[in-house]
Structure 1
Amino acid sequence: MWVGGVLAFFVLLFVLLFAFRSKLLSYTVNRVIAKVESRYPVDMHIGNAEFVDWNSVVLSDISLVPHDRDTLFTTDSVYASVGLRSLFKGRIVFRRLEVNDSYLTAVKKGDVTNFDFLLKKDEKTPAQPKDSTAAGRNYGQLLNRLIETAFDNVPDQVDFKNLNASYTSTNRTIDVRMPYLLVDDGTIESDVCVRTDSLVNNMHVKGTIDARDYNISASLFASDTAGIRLPYVKQKFDATVAFDTLHVSLKDKKYRNNNLTVRGNAMVNNLVINHPKVAAEDVHVAEGAVDYVVTLGPNLYVVDSLTEVRVNKARANVYASYQPRPSKIIDLKVKTDKIPGNDFFNSLPAGLFENLEGIQAQGWLQYDLKFHLNMDSLEQVVFDSDLDASKDFKIVKWGNTNIEKINSSFTHTMYEYGKPIRTFTVGPANPFYAPLHTISPYLRNAILSAEDAGFYSHKGFHEEAFRQAIIKNLKEGEFARGGSTISMQLVKNVFLTRQKTVARKVEEAIIVWLIENLDLVSKNRLFEVYLNIIEWGPDVYGAKDASRFYFGKQPSELNLAEAIFLTSIIPSPKRYRASFDSHGNLRSWKSGYYRMLGGIMRRRGLITQEEYENLYPNVQLYGRARDLIVTAPDTATVEEEDTSQYELESIDMLDF
């Protein structure tokens, strides 16, 4: 009797639930709509909601339309399973969702969008200080809202079929198409086609997500041979960036005192970079990775020193910060542990440093960089760069280029605008070759005083000259001065192209370090080769060729005035005619350079007081130079003040 009563009760309960479940569904749907519309300035519409079996619901004709804006979201239908327990409790909780034919359409017209309400600050969030707007936009706060909005709307179980998203503005169109997107208890999987203007990327995505802890890990795999290419970098930076696989994660985020700190990692495989300012060819990185800790806040952008960057097997800890207000302050620190020499050279990206590819070494290397810049006090720039090596470090096998070739005769080719213009032997077989002792001491000492006074004492680098170059370039807003030593100029001329790329400057520094710190080439030999290959005029290379071209004499016979003239045109040899009038006399503004360089040589004991007092800024032209200069039209239209300034600044510097 008791059992029969219980069964009757449950039968009645099920009958009541079945009878009233439609009303319960309607109540739930209306409550969802009211909740969304109370939180956001939108109209939410659900055309129909009904049970299709005991615990399955279909919602159809769904849309989300911001007030006075274009429709943001529509979907054809949503199938959802309903938990029986929730029905017994008198409420409906949707469990697994199947969403069909959905369209998320973001539109920006001028400054008006149909999605910015999603990123606006919650009214419950404490107000920012009144001066925060004046201090600049808080991108940490903006990113925090974006992360929380995204994670707060991740369902536990959903199966999207034909999910589409797009963004359209005046000058940009992005379309994302996903035949399917599956989110199932923290796992994510999808095929994705992204069209950004004319660029199309096809990829497969797999990952995991924990919305409560703001944790996501995703892997993107290219679905075709084109790889995954970053959009807009070609139009904006004239660059190409592509890769086969990208693994990225957000492990933690904290928002305190208006600062957002995010932690995670990323790894990329088969990365290809092409940019004319980076390198002349494609740069390939087999594997690159970063473990990052980044903080964003009001006027604060910091990459924490816990951040580790890895390129193949080489690892470095990086600290970087940028403070835009009230003063623009930039700090950069790079520090590596001891890296085995072979790991260092094998980790250099292919296509970046042609001369260094294939080098084998023993021992270890360690690098440390410190850079500090305050734009309100440029004179206080800090630049310390130090590459240390173990005592047993040495090159055991050269790769593409034998750096020690300059110890003996070698063939050298001069290039102009990327094309070879002349090839000659640097050695006794060349009748225009001049051993160091056959070159006038006046010329040797004048060049050392002007180009690199510490040549015989430093190890290839002059950090103070480089620091001063940074200061001057920042003050003038352009690359007006470099900090190159004679060793750097020689390496640039002998081993590298004339292309102004970041890769060339880094490769130049590495080769100079190898030569100077491993004592691969003596200082005298470096100086001798330098004096025999530098350009001094039209198809004029080396001290002997220059002496004969301008003065019809041997380099050993040059006097002080002739030596100073030849030194003055090293930074810009193609402008040699600008130094003379139509009669072959040095122009008057040259006297400033003569007084300056002559004074330096006198103070250093390289010339006597008498030689300095008798120094007169004039030379007598003979040979081919006289035929070209004296018969040429008057070049008095040259701006003497600007040219004089350029000449004076040639001391201890060379163009990039």
Structure 2
Amino acid sequence: MSKIKQFFVRNKKKILIGLGVFLGLLLVAFAIFFLNRERLLQYAVKKVVQKVENRYPADLQIGKAQFKGLATVLVTDISFVPENQPKLLQIDTVEATVSVRSLFLGRLVFKQFDVANGDVTAFKQDSVDNFSFLYKKKATGEEEKTKDAKEKSNYGTILNRLIETAFENVPDGVNFRNLGVIFQNNGRTISMRLPTLTVEDGQIQGRMAITTDSITNTMYVNGVIDPDEYLLAAKMYAEKAGGIQVPYIQQKFGATMRFDTLSLSITDKVFKNDQLTITGESSAHGLVLNHPKIADEDVFVKNGALKYVITLGNHYYSLDTLSEVRVNKAVFYPQLTYETRPNRKIGVKIDSPNIPANDLFESMPPGLFDTFQGMRANGSFKYHMDFYVDMAKVDSLTFNSDLDGQNLEITQFGEQDLRKINREFEHTVYENGKPTRTFLVGPSNPNFTPYNQISNYLKNAILTAEDPRFFTHKGFHEGAFRHSLITNIKEGSFVRGGSTVAMQLVKNVYLTRKKTITRKVEEALIVWLIENLNLSTKQRMYEVYLNIIEWGPNIYGVKEGAQFYFSKRPSELTLEESMFMASIVPKPKQYRTYFNQYGELRAYPRYFFNLISGNMLKRGLISPSEHASVSSYVNLNGRAGNFIMAKPDTTQIMDTLQLAPIDLLDF
């Protein structure tokens, strides 16, 4: 027989007596608790109210609290009213499972919640609201006031406090029934109604209806939450395709957005050195976006996702290098930085891995890059872009962009055959988005002028003004684009483009004239393919360009232009006549204002003549004697002379950087 067994046999009577005493004491304690639990509950409720009101400038009112069952508490008529502000919270009933141990300690610790019939009403009017006190600390002195003022500008500190407060107060289980949330912001109301929302063992399930701007979205919510790990993931989806609309961006940005499914998550957060870093992911399925500055029709993204690492600090925000953007099958790695003090600084970097060409083409959303719909190719793409500007030193702006194609070969063209400029084709001219004229570009058109029948003066003058390195670059001039960015930032508006001749050609031949962000990207990619895959020669591209660009009201092509202004063939144009035609390329309908009441060129075209002829001399395109004999007098012998609007010359000499789409300076 073992020693333990022998011990129990010898002490059996003592052990039974001890167990009896313990059970007796337990029953006595239970009886004491049962008889006094209402008193303990009221004491705990009082302590909770005191704690809340000591922490916040608000009045917490609890109508009645009583036990319902052994450890279930029923609390009714709860309200939370900020000082001198409308009521923030009103709840009819809260039924909760309370920790008995917490009652003895004068606290209320709930394990399960059942909340029914409640409303949260938040409002903000200008700088006044009834909710920001929840994440602001009370000022206890000048030092605390200074700290509080600093924290107001640090959204990382504010958001970290909100996240920690939210996660620290998540109970083991929650069941919301008929809960409403209303947010009134400067007269605009957003309301949410939760018929049901449950949180059980970290699992979230619910149904909600959100009404904004007379649009009501009804959606289901599934997700998980782990307060200890600061983990929250939720998926929202509608009953039918495209059933969830985002009305707020219509008022804020003039855009419309809808989607089938939206997923949001926070997987980690770190607060260090007054900076908050949040890691998470968001994704959308069946996303439809429409904005006139993005595209001129609906943009459809089947699957889009963003893995983000966001840092917020004192006047500092960033999307860090570990972030990832996925559009269908295409992946990019963005990095953004934004500083607001002491002056604004903006940095953008985008990199991509090697993306198979077909994955890239298939990933381009319909409505966004229609030229590439149906295009097939071998090989892959890799992209890098770097942009940085200190708004106090705009001239030091840096920009570079590099698209690299590896073993690239197009096996099938999409909606547009990019080789069409190599043969005769039909060209349609658009004005304000509407077609106004269609003509053939090729020998069948009597107005078509071959390259070798166009004056060298005209060809060289236009390239000098528009794109001096057209024959040597690959369709994109980083230096010119950088200078256009600097000018536009300084002016605060779009006053100078950065388009090369190839980009202008592509815009006219393959794309609409609408100025959208995506059209510029599509334009750049088409140019890259034509130039880098040698789909056409430089000479043919320039020949087509000269034969389709606008030279005046309903005047298209170099032959019509030479006839309209000078009653000449393109081959007969003089240096002055060529420079005049080059000067009107950016704004061809404004030629009528180029002359004063004496028939002389005004200040701007005279300045243009001097600048262009000087640059042509530097490049060896004209001789010193030709440059010395340049006259600022031009005689419009054609029909154009009948439409001149002669006025006194009050023209201000324009900045060189604003003269033409491409810079007139050497790089």
- Please confirm whether the aligned pair reaches a TM-score higher than 0.5, indicating the same fold: yes
Report the counterpart of residue 561 of structure 1 in structure 2.
Answer: 576
Q: Assess, with a 3 A threshold, how the Cα gap between structure 1 residues 4 and 653 changes in structure 2: closer, same or farther.
A: closer
The answer to whether the aligner puts 1:649 opposite 2:659 as a matched pair is yes
Report the counterpart of residue 346 of structure 1 in structure 2.
Answer: 362
Aligned match of 1:121 in 137, 147, 151? 137
Quick check: 75-84 or 371-380, which moved more?
Answer: 75-84
Q: Assess, with a 3 A threshold, how the Cα gap between structure 1 residues 347 and 14 changes in structure 2: closer, same or farther.
A: same
Does the 8 A contact of 1:24 with 1:91 survive in 2? no
Quick check: 49-58 or 517-526, which moved more?
Answer: 49-58
Q: Give, in angstroms, the shift of residue 412 of structure 1.
A: 0.1
Report the counterpart of residue 444 of structure 1 in structure 2.
Answer: 459
Q: Assess, with a 3 A threshold, how the Cα gap between structure 1 residues 316 and 613 changes in structure 2: closer, same or farther.
A: same
Q: Assess, with a 3 A threshold, how the Cα gap between structure 1 residues 39 and 622 changes in structure 2: closer, same or farther.
A: same
1:166 alignment partner, SS class: strand
Q: Assess, with a 3 A threshold, how the Cα gap between structure 1 residues 14 and 592 changes in structure 2: closer, same or farther.
A: closer
Q: Assess, with a 3 A threshold, how the Cα gap between structure 1 residues 172 and 140 changes in structure 2: closer, same or farther.
A: same
Q: Give, in angstroms, the shift of residue 415 of structure 1.
A: 0.6
Quick check: 73-82 or 475-484, which moved more?
Answer: 73-82
Report the counterpart of residue 526 of structure 1 in structure 2.
Answer: 541
Report the counterpart of residue 245 of structure 2 in structure 1.
Answer: 229
Aligned match of 2:222 in 203, 206, 220? 206
Unaligned runs of 5+ in 2: 1-15
Q: Assess, with a 3 A threshold, how the Cα gap between structure 1 residues 528 and 90 changes in structure 2: closer, same or farther.
A: closer
Q: Assess, with a 3 A threshold, how the Cα gap between structure 1 residues 98 and 585 changes in structure 2: closer, same or farther.
A: same
Does the 8 A contact of 2:495 with 2:658 survive in 1? no
In the alignment, the residues of structure 2 paired with residue 87 and residue 624 of structure 1 have an alpha-carbon distance, to the nearest angstrom, of 98
The answer to whether the aligner puts 1:376 opposite 2:392 as a matched pair is yes
In the alignment, the residues of structure 1 paired with residue 49 and residue 449 of structure 2 have an alpha-carbon distance, to the nearest angstrom, of 90
In the alignment, the residues of structure 2 paired with residue 518 and residue 502 of structure 1 have an alpha-carbon distance, to the nearest angstrom, of 24
Q: Give, in angstroms, the shift of residue 162 of structure 1.
A: 0.7
Aligned match of 1:162 in 150, 157, 178? 178
Report the counterpart of residue 95 of structure 2 in structure 1.
Answer: 79
1:619 alignment partner, SS class: coil
The answer to whether the aligner puts 1:323 opposite 2:339 as a matched pair is yes
Q: Give, in angstroms, the shift of residue 39 of structure 1.
A: 2.1
CA RMSD in angstroms comes to: 2.6
Q: Give, in angstroms, the shift of residue 635 of structure 1.
A: 2.7
Q: How many residues align?
A: 648
Q: Assess, with a 3 A threshold, how the Cα gap between structure 1 residues 67 and 433 changes in structure 2: closer, same or farther.
A: same
In the alignment, the residues of structure 2 paired with residue 178 and residue 128 of structure 1 have an alpha-carbon distance, to the nearest angstrom, of 39
2:68 alignment partner, SS class: strand
Does the 8 A contact of 1:536 with 1:569 survive in 2? yes
* 2:468 aligned partner, one-letter code: A
Does the 8 A contact of 2:602 with 2:649 survive in 1? no
Aligned match of 1:280 in 274, 290, 296? 296
Q: Give, in angstroms, the shift of residue 345 of structure 1.
A: 0.8
2:388 alignment partner, SS class: strand
Report the counterpart of residue 146 of structure 1 in structure 2.
Answer: 162
Alignment of 1:118-517 (within 5 A): 118-121=134-137, 133=149, 137-390=153-406, 392-517=407-532
Does the 8 A contact of 2:496 with 2:661 survive in 1? no
The answer to whether the aligner puts 1:635 opposite 2:646 as a matched pair is yes
Q: Assess, with a 3 A threshold, how the Cα gap between structure 1 residues 91 and 486 changes in structure 2: closer, same or farther.
A: closer
Does the 8 A contact of 2:235 with 2:264 survive in 1? yes
2:325 alignment partner, SS class: strand
Q: Give, in angstroms, the shift of residue 17 of structure 1.
A: 3.3
In the alignment, the residues of structure 1 paired with residue 137 and residue 61 of structure 2 have an alpha-carbon distance, to the nearest angstrom, of 25
In the alignment, the residues of structure 1 paired with residue 466 and residue 319 of structure 2 have an alpha-carbon distance, to the nearest angstrom, of 38
* 1:523 aligned partner, one-letter code: K
In the alignment, the residues of structure 1 paired with residue 334 and residue 621 of structure 2 have an alpha-carbon distance, to the nearest angstrom, of 45
Q: Give, in angstroms, the shift of residue 64 of structure 1.
A: 1.6
Report the counterpart of residue 614 of structure 2 in structure 1.
Answer: 599
Q: Give, in angstroms, the shift of residue 15 of structure 1.
A: 3.8
In the alignment, the residues of structure 2 paired with residue 405 and residue 505 of structure 1 have an alpha-carbon distance, to the nearest angstrom, of 20
* 2:510 aligned partner, one-letter code: F
* 1:619 aligned partner, one-letter code: V
Does the 8 A contact of 2:308 with 2:319 survive in 1? yes
In the alignment, the residues of structure 1 paired with residue 87 and residue 363 of structure 2 have an alpha-carbon distance, to the nearest angstrom, of 50
Q: Assess, with a 3 A threshold, how the Cα gap between structure 1 residues 140 and 122 changes in structure 2: closer, same or farther.
A: farther
In the alignment, the residues of structure 1 paired with residue 289 and residue 316 of structure 2 have an alpha-carbon distance, to the nearest angstrom, of 29
Does the 8 A contact of 1:121 with 1:145 survive in 2? no
* 2:332 aligned partner, one-letter code: A
Q: Assess, with a 3 A threshold, how the Cα gap between structure 1 residues 574 and 89 changes in structure 2: closer, same or farther.
A: closer
Q: Assess, with a 3 A threshold, how the Cα gap between structure 1 residues 385 and 41 changes in structure 2: closer, same or farther.
A: same
* 2:625 aligned partner, one-letter code: E
In the alignment, the residues of structure 1 paired with residue 154 and residue 245 of structure 2 have an alpha-carbon distance, to the nearest angstrom, of 30
In the alignment, the residues of structure 1 paired with residue 425 and residue 171 of structure 2 have an alpha-carbon distance, to the nearest angstrom, of 70
Q: Assess, with a 3 A threshold, how the Cα gap between structure 1 residues 128 and 321 changes in structure 2: closer, same or farther.
A: farther
Does the 8 A contact of 2:275 with 2:313 survive in 1? yes
Report the counterpart of residue 65 of structure 1 in structure 2.
Answer: 81
Encode CA deviations 1:97-140: one digit per residue, 9 max, x unaligned: 21111111113344332222101037799978959957981111
Report the counterpart of residue 6 of structure 2 in structure 1.
Answer: none
The answer to whether the aligner puts 1:35 opposite 2:51 as a matched pair is yes
1:497 alignment partner, SS class: coil
Q: Assess, with a 3 A threshold, how the Cα gap between structure 1 residues 5 and 296 changes in structure 2: closer, same or farther.
A: closer
Report the counterpart of residue 3 of structure 2 in structure 1.
Answer: none
Q: Assess, with a 3 A threshold, how the Cα gap between structure 1 residues 584 and 509 changes in structure 2: closer, same or farther.
A: same
* 2:652 aligned partner, one-letter code: E
* 1:179 aligned partner, one-letter code: P
Q: Assess, with a 3 A threshold, how the Cα gap between structure 1 residues 14 and 428 changes in structure 2: closer, same or farther.
A: same
Does the 8 A contact of 2:496 with 2:657 survive in 1? no
Encode CA deviations 1:357-397: one digit per residue, 9 max, x unaligned: 1111110110000111111222211111000011x211110
Q: Give, in angstroms, the shift of residue 153 of structure 1.
A: 2.2
Q: Give, in angstroms, the shift of residue 74 of structure 1.
A: 1.5
* 2:556 aligned partner, one-letter code: Y
* 1:322 aligned partner, one-letter code: Y
Quick check: 581-590 or 605-614, which moved more?
Answer: 581-590
Quick check: 605-614 or 565-574, which moved more?
Answer: 605-614
In the alignment, the residues of structure 1 paired with residue 144 and residue 377 of structure 2 have an alpha-carbon distance, to the nearest angstrom, of 56
What is the TM-score of this pair, normalised by structure 1? 0.93
In the alignment, the residues of structure 2 paired with residue 647 and residue 118 of structure 1 have an alpha-carbon distance, to the nearest angstrom, of 52
Does the 8 A contact of 1:136 with 1:299 survive in 2? no
In the alignment, the residues of structure 1 paired with residue 598 and residue 104 of structure 2 have an alpha-carbon distance, to the nearest angstrom, of 109
Does the 8 A contact of 1:100 with 1:160 survive in 2? yes
Unaligned runs of 5+ in 1: none
Q: Give, in angstroms, the shift of residue 242 of structure 1.
A: 1.7
What is the TM-score of this pair, normalised by structure 2? 0.92
Encode CA deviations 1:554-588: one digit per residue, 9 max, x unaligned: 11111111111111111110111112346755446
Quick check: 140-149 or 87-96, which moved more?
Answer: 87-96
Q: Assess, with a 3 A threshold, how the Cα gap between structure 1 residues 374 and 188 changes in structure 2: closer, same or farther.
A: same
Q: Give, in angstroms, the shift of residue 647 of structure 1.
A: 10
Q: Give, in angstroms, the shift of residue 19 of structure 1.
A: 2.1
1:640 alignment partner, SS class: coil
Q: Assess, with a 3 A threshold, how the Cα gap between structure 1 residues 638 and 507 changes in structure 2: closer, same or farther.
A: farther
In the alignment, the residues of structure 2 paired with residue 45 and residue 272 of structure 1 have an alpha-carbon distance, to the nearest angstrom, of 46
Q: Give, in angstroms, the shift of residue 7 of structure 1.
A: 6.7
* 2:87 aligned partner, one-letter code: T
Does the 8 A contact of 1:135 with 1:325 survive in 2? no
Aligned match of 1:19 in 29, 35, 46? 35
